A and B are shown apart, each in its own frame.
Chain A
Amino acid sequence: MGDVLIIRSVSFQQLDLNLPALRTVYHGQRLVLLTHAHGVKLAETYRDIAEVVVYPSDGPFTKAKVPEALKDRVFDSVVVPVTNSSGAGFFNVLELAFSFNTKEVRQCNVRSEINLVEPKDVKQRRMSHALFSLLAGMAGVLAGIVALPYLLWQLPKLEKKE
């Protein structure tokens, strides 16, 4: 049995909650945790995490920044924990998960329900992501034309007077 990669896309509090279910599903397999640098010392307290890998950025997870240590690794599964029921808001993490050499990707939600993510679902989400990004970009520009000058005008009024 191969290794399982867990991307720490949720707080440690939630990961604490999810780990027993993950341990059951991946019984006997080696769990590898990908976390931002500040999480390494906290991740080392886990009994069942065999290896901690540092994500090479302080920003959100993105497939544009795959850690060197994981580029040539092969995983049986990559797990994306999410803080809600549906996984909304975690598309970037899902994209990163699918960029690894893995047999499958699973999503673990806030209720510790661990479900397979089908490649066709991701394809659908990619199309939605592209459409939403385009629309949001356009709406953002229009809103910004009004909002940003207004904000620039208001900012001095908010300044603390010494």
Chain B
Amino acid sequence: MKPLVSVVILCWNRKDDVKEGLLRLRQQQYEPLEIIVVDNGSTDGTADELRRDFPEVKLLEIGENIGIEAYNRGFAAAKGEYLVILDDDSFPKEDAIARMVEKFEADPKLGIVAFDVRNYFEYDQVAHNINQNQALLEDSVAEAEDYWLAFNGAGAGVRRQVFLNIGAYPAEFFLYWNEQDTAFRMLQAGYKIRFFRDVVSYHKYSPRNRESWRAPYYYTRNAFWLIWKNYPTDMVLRLTASLIEDCFYYSFEQKTWIYLKALLHAFRDMAQLKGKRQPVQRQIAEKLRIPWQVAFTFFR
């Protein structure tokens, strides 16, 4: 009997994208699947259309936008041994979940299967068909010798119980850097995170989606919180000082207040982290690669 896999999707006002994703999930080669959509207070008719067109989907309606905390409601409602985490504009390749389960079953210490999240609009046109290329299927782990990676929330598989035990997603972050925060806790719990190039998820990454104040604000604020929650004290001070300087530098470069606003709010709202600071082992703090500069690349 194959293990149940629960797919959890968070959506907010992207009904056409989430419906396309659900149609694609019907083409998945793996079963049994449980599909949960958590609606974060959409106002575009998402809930009504999902109820009408996708009766197989378990729909959780939050009623308001509570950010990534809504994912946690979906994770708690799931029954599967494994979870697949998707965005409302991403979906796995038809063989991805089957491959994901194989990876988990082969390695009990594998905590997260990080999908290779690629561009929905172009990936198949620019890449080889992995299934027809034995060389690409073999040795499919994408990793570095001397550093570790987190994962992309537009396509990831996790062991459900382990994930819940470590606290799932950090609700206080609202948006962004949640994967990195989770990665710290997963590694601290003794589990591995691995990227596989033969486990693919398609994501509708496009210029339209990138123009928003939310990304620079939340990436910057949450960068501070990521540091304060997870790093040993000496590294907290060093990284915080460096990030403060970066906030000023990029404010001057991009002529914006958004980074300084995020910095101030990080300190102002620090109480939201009360009881959540758990410094990880030094090796994890030093090896988990966090591309801090990403926070400063979305503004203009």
Contacts and interface: CB of A to CB of B under 8 A. Distances in A.
- Chain A to chain B: the 3 pairs with minimum beta-carbon distance, closest first: A140-B245, A16-B119, A37-B144
A136 B127 contact: no
Interface of B: 116-119, 121-123, 125-128, 130, 136, 139-147, 149, 195, 197, 203, 205-207, 210, 228-229, 233, 236-237, 240-241, 244-246, 248-250, 252-254, 267, 270, 273-278, 289, 291, 293, 296-300
18 contacts: A12-B119, A16-B119, A20-B125, A38-B142, A38-B195, A44-B197, A46-B126, A60-B291, A83-B210, A83-B298, A84-B297, A84-B300, A88-B300, A92-B293, A128-B253, A129-B253, A152-B237, A161-B275
Contacts, number: 170
Contacts of B119: 12-14, 16-17
Interface of A: 11-14, 16-17, 19-20, 23, 36-42, 44-48, 58, 60, 82-86, 88-92, 110-111, 128-129, 131-133, 135-137, 139-140, 143-144, 147-148, 150-152, 154-155, 157-161
Nearest to A58: B147
Contacts of A13: 117-119, 203, 205
Contacts of A158: 228-229, 270, 273-277
Given A60-B293, A158-B277, A17 B122 contact: yes
Contacts of A91: 253
A136 B252 contact: yes
Nearest to A61: B293
Nearest to A9: B297
A136 B248 contact: yes
Contacts of A110: 207, 210
Given A13-B118, A45-B128, A155-B228, A136 B249 contact: yes
B126 A19 contact: yes
B219 to A, nearest CB: 11
B244 A154 contact: no
Given A41-B141, A58-B146, A155-B228, A20 B126 contact: yes
B253 A89 contact: yes
Question: Chain B at the A interface: mostly helix, strand, loop or mixed?
Answer: mixed
A88 B253 contact: yes
B73 to A, nearest CB: 22
A160 B276 contact: yes
A56 to B, nearest CB: 11
Given A136-B249, A160-B276, A161-B275, A12 B118 contact: yes
A73 to B, nearest CB: 23
Contacts of A39: 142
A42 B253 CA distance: 32
B254 A88 contact: yes
Nearest to B148: A38
B270 A160 contact: no
Contact of B244 (A60, A132, A143): A143
B298 A136 contact: no
A140 B247 CA distance: 9
Given A45-B116, A88-B297, 6 more contacts: A38-B149, A84-B297, A88-B300, A128-B253, A148-B240, A160-B278
Given A41-B197, A45-B127, A140 B248 contact: yes
Contacts of A111: 207
Given A83-B297, A151-B236, A89 B244 contact: no
B265 to A, nearest CB: 13
Given A85-B300, A158-B228, A47 B273 contact: no
